Chain A
Amino acid sequence: MSSERDARAGEPLHAALSDVTVRFGGQVAVDALSLHFEPGQVHAIIGENGAGKSTAVNVLFGLVAPDEGEVRIDGMARRFRSPHAAIQAGLGMVHQHFTLVEDMSVLENVVLCAEPDAGAGLVDFQAARAVLDRLAAEHGIMVEADARVRDLPFGARQNVEIVKALYRDARLLVLDEPTAVLTPRESEALFAMLRRLRDAGRTIVLITHKLDEVLAISDRVSVLRKGRLISSRRLDAGATVEDSAAGGRAGLRDVLAREIVGGDLPAPLRRAERAPGEIVLRAQAVRRREGAMTVGPLDLTLRGGEILAVAGVAGNGQGALVRALVGLDRQASPGPDASRGRIELAGVDVASVDVAGRRALGLCYVPEDRRHTGLALDASVAENASVARLDAPPLVRGPFLVRRAMRAFAAGLIERYRIAARGPRARAGTLSGGNQQKLVVARELELGGVVTIAENPTWGVDIGAIAAVHRELMAMRDDGRAILLVSSELDEVLALADRTLVMSGGHFVAEFARGEATRESLGRAMTGGAASARGSDVVGGLAA
């Protein structure tokens, strides 16, 4: 397309932000930040939500114009007017939320907007396929050109995103939280690929909040806090880090964690010894459909004073299970239906009970998607905090809201749960991700129900907020309330669960008591189903 791209294809690319400052309104999002991205390096940028990581990358891509400072590509100051211009200059971005067209094939997605011209407005898919095959072979990336993206697991979709960037000759590749939806095994494969790309001289920028990943793969790690660069250190070619005693590595991990939060690390969780109480939630042979997958039959029991974790990689039927338990899928088929199984909440069969009714029975729900399901971002903090308490005084009087009481209630939550908000009148959308999540958790916990369903309650939340959420969940458990924790984070499951059910392919495939579960055993169970399926494919292939 452009001569610029052809001329520099494959050459190493030096990118730098120099003294960049970005202000949104009165707030400084990025403060005099200078970062240099060198070719042949994996450069990790870590920091809490709102530390300015995404803004920094958006400046690099020209999505946000810096108020001060400049972007330098190969030593020249550049200002990209559009993502397209940034791509032309050799930058590539893999977003946290994939940007693929699900109903198109891998090949079609890869060439989209960079189609090789076969003349007469036709696309030269032959040529595209050849390039794709070459890239796949060169970098050891497995992609099926003709598969429909909809049918691919998340790990494979990530590969498609990466190949798509490489197809556009991205010499600098930014990955934003790339392992958020991957299995441990898929993450390993991703890192192996990133290492190969790095060794081939490309520049890799990794935005993440997982310190283990940073230590495993980065050549350089930069810590941002409140828009400022706190530290930027080279992790020497694996030598000191990999070979040194575990203590040294853990030491660095602690140093980084402290730099991220800008203070002392939260105290470790403490768990009171207590015997499980009464059964408060029971599911028997619950069956649902989620897309093409049959979920269930699922059985579980949950007792007071217990945290039961449902662990699994995202998209293995947890969503359908949660919707069934909360009552969000009731509208599709009202009334009892034997084939859908039976759910008992606090001893009541809830087949014909709606969300409001289940909440009245003592169900609390911390949804995974805080931005759409957990909160109304355009409503105020006070309104969000009060939503489940508007049936009776003191927050309402007759048909009218008592705004003052709503604000006072929200102010109480803000104080007790240490939510960083301008106040009860602030729009919920102005809170950072972690504080939004704290607000949801605070609201639901404050309801004091007997069963709390917490769905990835720390997804995309920073270290301080994770600790706060975990502390609250544990306090509830110690208080005798029951918690169903649906999580894809192994560390979270290991830290909190009294019992763990592993979900894969729509079924519970394993159960672990506390103490039995380890990272390895959980990880194996989570990917076990998928791995055996792939294994049988290979066998079939060999037989043929």
Chain B
Amino acid sequence: MKAAGSGLDKGLGPVVRTIAAWSGVALPLALIGWGLIALAGAPLGEAIDGFLRGAFGGRRNAYLLTTLSRAGLIIGMAMAAWLSFRAGLFNIGGEGQLVLGGLSAALVAIHAPGPAPVAIALAFAAGMAAGAAWAMLAGVLELAAGVPLLIGSLLLNYPASFFASWVVGHPFRDVASGLPQTVLLPAERWLPNFSGTRLDVGVAFIAVVTVLVIVYGATTTHGLRARLNGQAPAFARASGLAVRRLSLQTLAASGALAGFVGALAVLGLHHRYSDGMLVQPLYAWTGIVAVLLVGLVPWAVPLAGFFFAALATGAAGMERTAAVPREIALILQACVILFVAGRTARSVPGARRDDPGS
């Protein structure tokens, strides 16, 4: 079975594999989606129309821009996860790193003195530092106390979220708004929108960062070493790679990227930090799923991120026009995760099959 399975893989490039994987996932998903829409009693054509308009249409492309904005945040979190996963580090604490990054960036952007560009730069720096620190804490817990990273990083999500809730619920609450959120950032400290649209430039930041991260993985010594450490930890150690330092540095980079995404959401999209704004849309988890869906193939990660963003905004559109509940999108997303689970073992370092024997 093992030999036969690996035999099938031979000769198929990553491109073909990825396409095959996508169609293998898409077909059953389409069937499930069709069944669910039928169950909700909506005409299929109308639902699909609503979905497509909701994801890609709108007056002056408003919905497409929403999809893009959301895709940017998901792709950012996906690249953060990709950095860790390829190095064999199961950092699933992106959510905590994202929340602390967003919170720190908001507080600094609101309270830092000085001209706007300086404050914005400081806010980004604070967000990245907070994310990096939180990710490294999970790494230190593993190295020093033996808490597996998978568990440590996951559990650190909760204190991060609750701490952020407390901060915006009490000491830094915008009391006048009546909600657990900070006050708005001074308007000159908002990231600008693309001219004539309601899309902030955060997406461009994400595009640049994504390219940088992919270049890092493909062309730098550190990127290669981190990947080798993930693919074959015993090999990395015997080859004299500084595996602890590599791991901590990679975690820091991953956490910093998550914190950066949090800062973008604050400075570009929401202009404040409000409780749950980075948790409820499931940016971090969707990012992880996007990475796993494409089997860590880096250039495909943005496509997967865009797909999930479109799924969510399209579902909202479907609800508005065809009265199909948007929860269907969540069900579909869960189905995607189930399909992914069957493929994960082969794409994530440390959980892979053996090579064919003689």
When C-beta atoms are compared, the residue in chain B nearest to A55 turns out to be B3
In the complex, besides A371-B354, A373-B235, A387-B228, 6 extra interface pairs with C-beta distance below 8 angstroms are A24-B7, A358-B240, A365-B238, A372-B235, A373-B238, A378-B232
Query: How many interface contacts (CB-CB < 8 Å) are there between A and B?
Result: 112
A390 is an interface residue with CB less than 8 A from chain B: yes
Chain B residues within 8 Å of chain A by Cβ, number? 36
Q: Which of A26, A356, A376, A433 has the most CB of B within 10 A?
A: A376
The distance from the CB of B217 to the nearest CB of chain A, in whole angstroms, is 11
A374 is an interface residue with CB less than 8 A from chain B: yes
When C-beta atoms are compared, the residue in chain B nearest to A370 turns out to be B235
B10 is an interface residue with CB less than 8 A from chain A: yes
Across the interface, do A383 and B228 meet the contact criterion of CB distance under 8 Å?
A: yes
Across the interface, do A400 and B221 meet the contact criterion of CB distance under 8 Å?
A: yes
When C-beta atoms are compared, the residue in chain A nearest to B6 turns out to be A24
Across the interface, do A390 and B225 meet the contact criterion of CB distance under 8 Å?
A: yes
Known: A379-B232, A383-B224, A396-B221. A24 touches B237 (CB 8 A): no
Distance of A58 Cα from B7 Cα, bound (Å): 14
Distance of A114 Cα from B82 Cα, bound (Å): 44
When C-beta atoms are compared, the residue in chain B nearest to A399 turns out to be B220
The distance from the CB of A429 to the nearest CB of chain B, in whole angstroms, is 4
Interface size bucket, A side?
35 or more
Q: Which of B237, B239, B356 has the most CB of A within 10 A?
A: B239
Across the interface, do B221 and A388 meet the contact criterion of CB distance under 8 Å?
A: no
Residues of A within 8 A of B241 (CB): 356, 387
Binding site secondary structure of chain B = helix
Known: A49-B358, A63-B3. A399 touches B222 (CB 8 A): yes
The distance from the CB of A95 to the nearest CB of chain B, in whole angstroms, is 11
B59 is an interface residue with CB less than 8 A from chain A: no
When C-beta atoms are compared, the residue in chain A nearest to B235 turns out to be A376
Kindly identify which residue among A49, A358, A373, A401 contacts B234, using a CB–CB cutoff of 8 Å.
Answer: A373
A377 is an interface residue with CB less than 8 A from chain B: yes
The distance from the CB of B158 to the nearest CB of chain A, in whole angstroms, is 30
Across the interface, do B221 and A356 meet the contact criterion of CB distance under 8 Å?
A: no
26 A-B residue pairs with Cβ-Cβ distance under 8 Å, sorted by A, are A24-B3, A24-B10, A49-B358, A55-B3, A58-B3, A328-B238, A354-B240, A354-B242, A359-B240, A369-B234, A373-B234, A373-B237, A373-B238, A374-B235, A375-B232, A376-B236, A378-B232, A379-B227, A379-B231, A379-B232, A383-B224, A387-B241, A400-B220, A430-B10, A432-B358, A433-B357
B219 is an interface residue with CB less than 8 A from chain A: yes
A289 is an interface residue with CB less than 8 A from chain B: no
B2 is an interface residue with CB less than 8 A from chain A: yes
Across the interface, do B242 and A54 meet the contact criterion of CB distance under 8 Å?
A: no
Residues of A within 8 A of B238 (CB): 326, 328, 355, 365, 367, 373-374
Residues of B within 8 A of A64 (CB): 1, 3-4
Distance of A52 Cα from B357 Cα, bound (Å): 9
Kindly identify which residue among A25, A58, A328, A371 contacts B355, using a CB–CB cutoff of 8 Å.
Answer: A371
A51 is an interface residue with CB less than 8 A from chain B: yes
When C-beta atoms are compared, the residue in chain A nearest to B228 turns out to be A376
Distance of A358 Cα from B238 Cα, bound (Å): 11
Q: Mark B145-185, 1 if CB is under 8 A from A, else 0.
A: 00000000000000000000000000000000000000000
